[in-house]
Each structure stands twice: as C-alpha cells, then as structure tokens.
Amino acid sequence: MHRKSRTPVCSLAAVVQYCVIGPFEHHKSPIGLLMRRVFMMRTIGMIFQSSLLVVLEPSPLMKGMAVLSMSLQHFIAGLITTLTFTTMMNCTQRAEESIQATHYSFLATLEVLGKLSFSALAGGMVDTVGFPIAFILFLFLTSSSALHVWRATETGVLKEQLKGQPL
C-alpha cells in the first residue's frame, strides 16, 4: 500500500468504528451534553495538532503523534456527524407529521451541501493563502463552532436535556 493512501483508510476506519460504538454512547448522555464534550474535544485536538506543528521538530515521534492526532480527529468527526443527524431527527420529530420526511431530507441535504462546499473552498483557500494561515483560520472556525454549540445548549431546546447533568 502506498504511504499516502493510509490516511484515508485510517480515517474511514475511525468513522466506521464510531458508527459501531456511537449508538451505545447516545443512551448514556443527553445529546446536548455529548455535543458540548465532543466539540470541546475537537477544539483541544486542533490545539494539540497546532502544538505539534510549532513545538516539535520533524521526527518519527512527531510523525506518530500526528497520525494518532489525525485518527482521533477523524473519530471525533464521525461522532459529530452522528450527533448532527441525531439532532436533525429530533428536530424533524417536532415538525408536522405530514412534512417530517421532507423536513429531514431538506436538513440532510443542507448538511451534505455545507460539507461539500466547504471542502471545495478549503482547498482553494489553502492554495491561495498557504497552509499556516489556512490552518489558523480553520482553528478559529473550530473554536467558534464549539462556542456556538456551547451557547446553543445553554439557551436552545437542548438546554432542557442538560438540567441536572454534570458538565
């Protein structure tokens, strides 16, 4: 196997692994609480990756830590996707019964279109501004999404689920 082809295989394995483990985790904690934890874990993981780029010199240890960090980020991405679709299903259940299927399909389409359009723009951005600046921008976006989820679970519908739960 080519060295460059290992990362997509590892990321696919991490996503599949979460798809197997994830449903069992959802029964233990409310969605809002899981979302808070996972988005914070993603932000901390991005900060860890940033420190790998800045602090350590290229070495076998750094490469191993980078692969481990990337695998963890892919696992967390699978978790976030599962939580997103679970939240969309809960939102759809509140819609009128006659439009629930259309409502969910519309939300799922928007989610996929958002990911695809961002992927296309991210590649162009890295080519235009360079990897370091793009990485800082992506780190900012990750942090702001964690802050948004935190605020949404404090003030939104998911707030009710968090009552009496430890942070």
Q: Can you tell me the distance from the alpha carbon of 144 to that of 12, in angstroms, rounded to the nearest whole number?
A: 26
The token pair that represents 82 in the structure block: 């599962």
The reported pLDDT for the residue numbered 70 is: 84
Q: What pLDDT, on the 0 to 100 scale, is given for residue 150? A: 84
**CA 97, CA 101: separation in Å to the nearest integer?**
8
| Domain regions of the chain by residue span | 7-162
Q: What is the pTM of this model?
A: 0.68
Written as tens digits, the pLDDT of the chain (167 aa) is 444 445 555 555 555 555 555 555 545 567 778 888 888 888 888 888 777 777 667 777 877 887 888 888 889 988 888 888 888 888 898 889 999 999 999 999 999 998 899 888 998 999 999 988 888 898 898 888 888 888 887 776 566 655 544 44
Enumerate residues 6+ apart whose C-beta is below 8 A from 158.
30, 31, 32, 35, 87, 152
DSSP sequence for 91-130: HHHTS-GGGHHHHHHHHHHHHHHHHHHHHHHHHHHHHHH-
Residue type, 76: I
The pLDDT, as a whole number, for residue 3 is: 46
Whole-number pLDDT of residue 98: 93
